[in-house]
Structure 1
């Protein structure tokens, strides 16, 4: 690490632990795994994978918990669009045993929770849906994300989501 990097508090990026970083994608912290590293940036968490490292964007991490040994993540995928609302479903669960966690668990928790501007659960026949307004790092404004509960008619939720999104400021 160069003197300039140390003076500017730049975090070194472990070799092979990230793909191509975007211009504004500052590295915040890195932590070693048994094989590879987790690297938190302003835009997301880089995780190792079979095809190489990939970034889990903060606004798609539904849940992050730390039990003192492992970082547990629930990651959503976009399943559709309803007007200006984004429809999501929880798709992946990951568990990462950190050898030396350092500040990574705190940074992950802070990044996930700070992206949430508001949450509301709407009860509907058969279940309901979560309406979450989130900031997306690197973009202005917020996005309305809607996650449908099991047993709930997704088309009904999509209609409600589109209507709600139209009422929100742009």
Structure 2
């Protein structure tokens, strides 16, 4: 690490990084996944070993267990009222060699992107309504993440009221 990066508290890109950072994207932490490819946390999101960026607003959950970073990534699948509809992918296990501060930083960034949230119980399950910040964008985005099996008509009917309450929540 260069003396300037150390002075500024910034990390350098690890060897073998497969992605391409944007002009203002900063490396915050990195670790090596089993197999040798790096996992890199930046100001915009987490870069997976294959060189794909997942924005902080699209990580539903990040935990550290069994010497691995576990990520649940969400896909944007449409809209419900004013909210972006998210569907979670299967949890992904990223075993890390010498994780350093990467797991804590990823968890902090994911939870820190959530400005307000509200749980609504519905037939067949429920849904989380979220207001999140998106790095590199002004303002907040509204999201809804239903549980598998949640009744879609009930979700759509409950959305306007849940979103109104969420918008009224400070954050």
Q: TM-score, normalised by structure 1?
A: 0.86
For residue 116 of structure 1, the aligned residue among 114, 124, 140 is 114
Q: Quick check: 157-166 or 59-68, which moved more? A: 157-166
1:132 aligns with 2:130: yes
Whole-angstrom distance in 2 between the partners of 1:22 and 1:159:
40
What's the counterpart of residue 40 of structure 1? 41
What's the counterpart of residue 141 of structure 1? 139
Instruction: Point out where structure 1 has 5 or more consecutive residues left out of the alignment.
Output: none
Whole-angstrom distance in 2 between the partners of 1:155 and 1:21:
40
**Cα shift at 1:108:** 0.6
Whole-angstrom distance in 1 between the partners of 2:53 and 2:162:
30
What's the counterpart of residue 98 of structure 2? 100
1:23 aligns with 2:28: no
Q: TM-score, normalised by structure 2?
A: 0.86
Whole-angstrom distance in 2 between the partners of 1:42 and 1:78:
21
Contact 2:129 2:162 in 1 (8 A): no
Q: CA RMSD in A?
A: 2.0
Contact 2:120 2:162 in 1 (8 A): no
Whole-angstrom distance in 1 between the partners of 2:94 and 2:15:
19
Deviations 1:87-137 (A, max 9, x none): 011113211111111111110110011111122111222222211111111
Whole-angstrom distance in 2 between the partners of 1:48 and 1:96:
9
Alignment of 1:1-80 (within 5 A): 1-35=1-35, 36-49=37-50, 53-67=51-65, 69-80=67-78
For residue 89 of structure 2, the aligned residue among 79, 91, 100 is 91
Instruction: Point out where structure 2 has 5 or more consecutive residues left out of the alignment.
Output: none
Whole-angstrom distance in 2 between the partners of 1:4 and 1:90:
39
Whole-angstrom distance in 2 between the partners of 1:38 and 1:16:
10
Contact 2:129 2:163 in 1 (8 A): no
